[in-house]
Amino acid sequence: MLEILKYPDPRLHEKSLPVTDFTPELHQLLDEMARTMYGANGVGLAAPQVGKLLRLFVIDVAQQDGKTKKLYEFINPKLENGEGKITFEEGCLSVPGISEEVQRKAKISVQYQDRHGQSQRMEADELLAVAIQHENDHLDGILFVDRLSPLKRRLIKRKLTKVVTL
């Protein structure tokens, strides 16, 4: 299992670089990220969360919506055509024990590459759309807590500081 960086680690606010080499090492990283995500009971995991500044993430919303396990791998994603609004209580493996409501687009389109470098396109709504937007934010150095009010961010920082120092 890979180590998941925790907020407020400054590496979580760095921007990721595009993936250019679709090698066996990339496949191994994707496999390890999926194992780490499942092991931590997460819905998604982005490469920056495990200290790799690459534009890729894995998602499986099955644990949250009661569906059959379905792993998605997104490499070099580009979100487009978002519409509507949805408010969802989000958590993050890099911000353990904290969840807050975040407003996002209700429906999105995403262009991306698969592990073999092949171009793909997907329409997503509800939880999958929220998860894609959440993980894509990580690639730009944005955490869900950055989308909260300054007051809520201060309260979360205080709460996390207490947990770390206990």
Active site residue 89: no
Q: How far apart are CA 2 and CA 7, in angstroms?
A: 16
Residue 75's contacts (CB-CB under 8 Å, 6 or more residues apart) are 19, 22, 26, 55, 56, 112, 113, 114, 115, 117
Cis amide bond preceding 8, omega within 30: yes
Q: Of 73, 90, 100, 135, which is the active-site residue?
A: 135
CA distance 76 to 114: 9
The first and second tokens of residue 133, run together, are: 């937007």
Kindly tell me the burial class for residue 66, based on how many C-beta atoms sit within 10 Å of its own C-beta (0-12, 13-18, 19 or more).
exposed
**Phi/psi of residue 106, each to 5°?**
-80, -30
**Among all residues, which ones are annotated catalytic?**
135
